[in-house]
Amino acid sequence: MRAGLRIGIAALALLALGATPPRDPVNPTCPQNPGWSTKPKMEFRVFKVNGVEVIAGEGRVDAGVVDRLKAVLKKHPDPGEIWLSSPGGDARAGNAAGRLIRDTLDVETRIPSGWACYSSCNFIFMGGRKRTIDPGGQFIVHMFTQTGDRDSIDMSVAMGTDATTELIGQIEQDAAMLATEDNDFLIRMGVSRKLLSDIMYKQKAVAGSGRDQSTRRCLNIKEAISYGVMSEPG
């Protein structure tokens, strides 16, 4: 039995017994150990479940994800489902992969029980014309940040006020462009833009020094349906 299926079956067994995974004390809407793949780049494997061809994408979303997805789709052009397990990564690559799925396939995307789709993985998931989050699956969002390059920030501070101001301006400009791209993406995928205003943009980009250190938000099934992230069951 494949590892991903074993994880899903184990999670379903816990749910059947009324057990839930331990909560993350810092991010209380989420499990302490999200079920995303730790592979350094998203890899795709193909298998069948009950006669349905499944493509599973597992690992970090990097700049090469679209090319690898195109390659697997060339060999398997008509999958029934795409399963996702990822800690996110490159935001624009995630958007591009989601658009590729929507533009070329009539496919269901799924987050199986025990699997997690975080950050830019969200946008790959939204590419499905039908989208399912199984009980125990984790759709996890955050507020994107363009301040991840600490070396550049520290260097600009050391260079003085003008350099820091210029860097901040570049960050603000790129962040505004990415926010516009995200809005456009959600409209195209039939997802409510309130997902951004109500949920994503209300999360802290970094934990900071305050009492509330949370930076992640896990949607429950009701929320996922209400924002159009997940298709109505049936």
List, for residues 16-35, the tens digit of each pLDDT value: 444 577 999 999 999 999 99
Q: Is the pLDDT of residue 126 over 80?
A: yes
153 domain-assigned: no
What's the pLDDT at 90? Answer: 92
Residue 68 lies inside a defined structural domain of this protein: yes
CATH number of the domain within which 7 lies: 3.90.226
User: What is the per-residue pLDDT across 99-120, written as a single tens digit (0 to 9) for each?
Assistant: 999 999 999 999 999 999 999 9
pTM above 0.95, yes or no: no
Number of structural domains the chain divides into: 1
Three state DSSP letters for 91-153: HHHHHHHHHHHHHHCCCEEEECCCCEEECCHHHHHCCCCEEEECCCCEEEECCCCCCCCHHHH
Tell me if residue 82 falls in helix, strand or coil.
Answer: strand
Phi, psi of 119 (to 5 degrees): 60, -125
185 lies in some domain: no
The domain in which residue 90 lies consists of 3-146+193-226
Q: Is residue 115 part of a domain?
A: yes
Q: Is residue 71 part of a domain?
A: yes
Reply yes or no on whether the pLDDT at 211 is more than 80. Answer: no
pLDDT digits (tens, 9 = 90+) for 152-171: 444 444 555 655 555 455 65
**Per-residue model confidence as pLDDT tens digits over 48-58:** 999 999 999 99
How far, in Å, CA of 93 to CA of 4, rounded? 24
Q: What is the pLDDT of residue 155?
A: 46
Q: Is residue 160 part of a domain?
A: no
- Residue at 127 is within a domain: yes
- Examine residue 139 and state whether it is found in any structural domain, yes or no: yes
User: Do you know the residue count of the chain?
Assistant: 234
